[in-house]
A = this chain, B = another copy of it.
Amino acid sequence: MILGRIAGSVVSTIHHPIVEGRKLLIAERLDAEGHSTGGYVIAYDAIGAGHGEAVLIIDEGNGARQVLENPTAPVRAVVVGIVDGLDIASD
């Protein structure tokens, strides 16, 4: 899984029953301290994540399809959780 922050959404039309009407989010990739890395991920939303929220994204097709409960969805990444905090102990 990877850490991301919701930056926006993609306006597009994909004809597949499981993804029609589902929001397609653009998430910045975050490093382990929660800072942007410059990269991004396009992911379907499974939880109702809002703009600016830090999230957990499953970035593996089979796992992502399980979350959507559809073994044939054309999907690689899905937002599966809101990050409430990162607990990084200093050494």
User: Bound state CA distance, A63 and B14, in angstroms?
Assistant: 13
Which of B62, B67, B76, B81 touches A59 (beta carbons < 8 Å)? B76
Which of B1, B43, B67, B78 touches A42 (beta carbons < 8 Å)? B1
For the complex formed by this chain, how many copies does it contain in all?
A: 5
Which of B3, B31, B61 touches A60 (beta carbons < 8 Å)? B61
CB distance A86 to B10 under 8 Å? yes
User: Bound state CA distance, A77 and B8, in angstroms?
Assistant: 24
CB distance A89 to B8 under 8 Å? yes
Cβ distance A50 to chain B, nearest Cβ, rounded Å: 10
CB distance A58 to B75 under 8 Å? yes
Cβ distance A46 to chain B, nearest Cβ, rounded Å: 9
CB distance A83 to B1 under 8 Å? no
CB distance B74 to A12 under 8 Å? no
**Given A3-B42, A32-B7, A81-B14: A76 and B58 interface contact (C-beta under 8 Å):** yes
